[in-house]
């Protein structure tokens, strides 16, 4: 990994040398003619090496390759020839992205974190959904081009990709709603950790964390955060209760629903959804049109109050405790 930049206000990180060192897996014509055949031990070693290299690259500077690398990792034990072909395609995509890198720009005061989370649909082949989250650091006040903000006319905000994650969910889910709920909770925990680190770097205090604004493309999950109804399994209800507590207490500053075409985390869970994430990471601009998004902030946060004094049961009790009643 290398860093470059023309000025101290901008740092660019890339992996050109590492990507150039990746070699494709040699496949003969006879091998390609049997895509459903099991691979040999030598081919399996090359497959694992390629998949591990792609996971490393996707976790460092190439987030748009995350979903393809995660799919390859699911066949570490029993790979087929078709998996070798898929790995070569991913290696070719990585070489085409050798010039891609992350740009970190200086951010003005009033910073916040923008969290995008998504989970893949649950299928009959696997009850473990793929989860991904992307965290951007940018200026606050530009959400959906809020009135009076610099992004009012453009419906967006300047922000840089600073953290992301992609993995198979540890919980077994039986619905897309449950998968999205677990994905949001996992992404929020990562965002709160990133906010604590950013608060320490920018403000000198771990407790001075940055506000976190979350974006989901599940309308039912968006509505459930302010609902009092309980549905689903015990684990899902506990997850929703945790999210509602974060929302009411203000650690989750706001949550917004946006259509799937604007969900940047799609590139971490779906093979064909990496375009918007790559464009946002390269340009440093998050498209958040007001006409396409619905948001709500935690304005009705729970404020703890002091416990009331115990009720006085008799007049002597009042005199001893100095009760004014």
User: Do 57 and 83 belong to one domain?
Assistant: yes
- Please report whether residue 165 resides in a domain: yes
Could you tell me if 29 and 152 lie in one domain? no
Q: Are residues 190 and 292 in the same domain?
A: yes
Shared domain check, 192 and 92:
no
In a domain, 306, yes or no: no
- In terms of domains, do 241 and 149 share one? yes
Is position 266 within any domain?
A: yes
In a domain, 101, yes or no: no
Residues 85 and 134 in one domain: no
**131/157 same-domain check:** yes
- Please indicate, yes or no, whether residues 161 and 197 belong to a single structural domain of this protein: yes
List the domain range (segments joined by +) for residue 215: 107-297
Cβ(195)–Cβ(113) under 8 Å?
yes
Domain count, the chain: 2
Looking at the structure, do residues 256 and 123 belong to the same domain, yes or no?
yes
| pLDDT in 10s for each residue of the chain, 325 residues | 665 555 557 888 888 999 999 999 999 999 999 999 999 999 999 999 999 999 999 999 999 998 888 888 888 888 999 999 999 999 999 999 888 888 888 777 778 999 999 988 645 345 467 889 999 998 876 554 443 344 444 578 889 999 999 888 777 777 888 889 999 999 999 999 998 888 888 877 766 678 899 999 999 999 988 887 777 788 889 999 999 999 988 889 999 999 988 899 988 888 777 889 999 998 888 888 777 777 776 554 433 333 344 444 333 343 444 444 4
Q: Residue 289 maps to which CATH number?
A: 3.30.420.10
* Cβ-Cβ contacts under 8 Å for 246 (sequence gap 6 or more): 188, 252
- What one-character-per-residue DSSP string does 257-276 give? E--GGG-GGGGGT-TT--HH
Query: Do 77 and 122 belong to one domain?
Result: no
pTM for the whole structure? 0.80
Residue 102 near residue 84 (C-beta atoms within 8 A): no
Judge if 167 and 78 occupy the same domain.
Answer: no
| Same-domain pairing of 92 and 115 | no
39 falls within a domain = yes
């Amino acid at each position: 990994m290398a860093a470059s930049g023309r000025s101290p206000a901008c740092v660019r990180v890339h992996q050109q040398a590492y990507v150039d060192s990746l070699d494709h897996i040699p496949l003969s014509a006879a091998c390609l003619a049997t895509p459903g055949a099991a691979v040999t031990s030598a081919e399996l070693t090359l497959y694992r090496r390629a998949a591990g290299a792609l996971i490393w690259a996707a976790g460092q500077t190439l987030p748009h390759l995350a979903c393809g690398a995660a799919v390859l990792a699911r066949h570490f034990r029993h790979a087929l020839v078709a998996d070798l072909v898929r790995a070569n395609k991913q290696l070719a995509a990585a070489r085409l992205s050798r010039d891609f890198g992350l740009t970190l720009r200086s951010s003005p005061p009033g910073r916040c974190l923008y969290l995008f989370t998504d989970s893949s649909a649950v299928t009959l082949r696997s009850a473990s959904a793929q989860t991904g989250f992307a965290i951007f650091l940018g200026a606050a006040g530009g959400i959906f081009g809020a009135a009076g903000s610099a992004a009012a006319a453009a419906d967006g905000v300047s922000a840089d990709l600073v953290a992301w994650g992609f993995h198979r969910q540890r919980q077994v889910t039986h619905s897309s709603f449950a998968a999205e709920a677990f994905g949001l909770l996992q992404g929020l925990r990562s965002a709160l950790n990133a906010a604590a680190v950013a608060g320490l770097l920018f403000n000198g205090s771990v407790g001075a964390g940055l506000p976190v604004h979350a974006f989901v493309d599940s309308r039912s999950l968006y509505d459930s955060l302010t609902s009092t109804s309980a549905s689903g399994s015990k684990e899902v209800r506990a997850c929703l209760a945790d999210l509602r507590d974060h929302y009411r207490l203000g650690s989750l500053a706001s949550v917004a629903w946006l259509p799937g075409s604007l969900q940047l985390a799609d590139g971490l869970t779906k093979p064909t959804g990496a375009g918007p994430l790559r464009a946002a990471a390269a340009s440093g601009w998050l498209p958040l049109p007001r006409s396409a998004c619905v948001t709500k902030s935690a304005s009705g946060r729970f404020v703890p109050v002091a416990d009331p004094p115990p009720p006085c049961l008799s007049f002597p009790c009042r005199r001893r405790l100095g009760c004014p009643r």
